[in-house]
Structure 1
Amino acid sequence: MGAIGRGILFSEMTPPEALEHTFNDWYDTEHIPVRMGAPGFRSAQRYRDGTTRNYLAVYEMDGPEALKTPEYGVIKNSPSDLTRDILGAVSGFTRYVGRTIAEAGPGGDVLLDAPVLYAVFFAVPEDRCAAFDAWYDQDHVPLLLSDPRWLGVRRFDVVDGAPEKYNRLALHYLSDRGVMESDARRRARETPWRAALAAEPWFKGHYVIFDRLGARQMAKAA
């Protein structure tokens, strides 16, 4: 079984400064490993915002259904004392569950090794999703990928999430942060197609960028 799945869990947390070391140790040695034993989980990668203490974990799953198994229910509803204490102390918590709707770039697990992850969220009206998806896949992504440092893009239908009601998430896999200032990105943001969509009142993206942190953890062998 490969590392990449057809669904993801995107979860951010910001620990208090005094608990940061404990938080990181707990995440690497308890929080992720326990989930890697649940059916439907394939792998997990941690990231950190380079300018803050905001941490991200992206879990690769067979699909969102992995979060509805009895095994995951036990994990979710029977936390250890340490887990309960840390989750009670963190801030900036987000939790978004996505199902893959499009991929561009190299196939397979190689994309997941990118050093930088750029996440883009949108809340798109249901009657505009088709137009938004067409623009992203046919206009926006091809221009971004014209720079080889823009390694690939995966897009998701957000089927559940908090605290915001986003329904579209794009994960952009980058070789370095410098590509954010590239001509390719500038061109991708200046097309007539994008300008037409950007004139609509709902077109307000939420953008976050992270650096990969540590090694990818894989699901436990059955």
Structure 2
Amino acid sequence: MACPGFVSAQRYAREDGKGYLAVYEMATLGVMSSPAYKVVKEQPSELTAWMLKNVTGFTRYLADESFVKAQPGAFDPIDAPVLYAVSFTVPAAAQAEFDSWYETEHIPLLMANPDWLMVRRLRIADGLPEPYTHLALHYLADSRALASPEREKARGTEWRARLAANDWFKASYTVFRRQGPRQLGRG
């Protein structure tokens, strides 16, 4: 977080206990090629070097934010206790319709539930191991929002059914719980 351009970071644990997630907020993706970041990457601390040798199953996605919708109010939804991550691999020919559905129909229906605090849509620029193109981060006050009538309505529309009939409309869905405080950039 000391590298210029790193704004904040938040750690999460999977609700099912099978892994972790860290979300880093950066001013731009160009931060990843900055001299300061290269030093951190190429000369890791002793603890980071140990972790890189002993922890397996890493995934990493670099993405640009393309859309944000938040509930009005004083609470900063980025600090929500639950993060629901949804990843898709959308073919280029379907991206315009997919984006239109997600932003004009799906998100407004979800956000009719007051526990659905914010949705951030991201275009994946680079990542491994899956070839995802789109990521949606849903910030929730409570994971019970996933079983709400509003979510059921959002998943039951004709437009969604038409998109879901495509083979590519197979998403990866994961629920995470926030772990510890948000780390703020110092650089």
What's the TM-score bracket when you normalise by the shorter of the two chains? over 0.9
The alignment status of 1:211 with 2:177, answered yes or no, reads yes
What SS does structure 1 have at the residue aligned with 2:57? strand
Q: Distance in 2 between matches of 1:186 and 1:201?
A: 21
TM norm structure 1: 0.81
For 2:69, give the aligned amino acid.
A
The alignment status of 1:167 with 2:105, answered yes or no, reads no
Q: Distance in 2 between matches of 1:116 and 1:102?
A: 19
4+ residue segments displaced more than 6 Å: none
Deviations 1:121-148 (A, max 9, x none): 0000011111110000011000000000
Match of residue 82, structure 1, among 25, 32, 47: 47
Q: Distance in 2 between matches of 1:197 and 1:53?
A: 30
Alignment of 1:100-111 (within 5 A): 100-106=65-71, 110-111=76-77
TM norm structure 2: 0.95
CA spacing shift, 1:109–1:74, aligned 2, 3 Å: farther
Superposition RMSD in Å: 1.5
8 A Cα contact 2:12 2:177, kept in partner: yes
Matched pairs, number: 186
Match of residue 158, structure 2, among 177, 192, 201: 192
CA spacing shift, 1:162–1:52, aligned 2, 3 Å: same
Residue 50 (structure 1) shift: 2.5
Higher relative contact order (CA 8 A, sep 6+): 2
Q: Distance in 2 between matches of 1:139 and 1:128?
A: 16
Alignment of 1:32-47 (within 5 A): 36-47=1-12
- In the alignment, which residue of structure 2 is the partner of 1:157? 123
Unaligned runs of 5+ in 2: none
Q: Which has the higher helix share?
A: 1
Q: Distance in 2 between matches of 1:217 and 1:192?
A: 42
For 1:161, give the aligned amino acid.
G
Q: Distance in 2 between matches of 1:39 and 1:137?
A: 32
* Identity, % of aligned positions: 48
What SS does structure 2 have at the residue aligned with 1:58? strand
8 A Cα contact 2:90 2:133, kept in partner: yes
For 1:203, give the aligned amino acid.
F
Unaligned runs of 5+ in 1: 1-35
For 1:158, give the aligned amino acid.
I
Match of residue 177, structure 1, among 137, 143, 153: 143
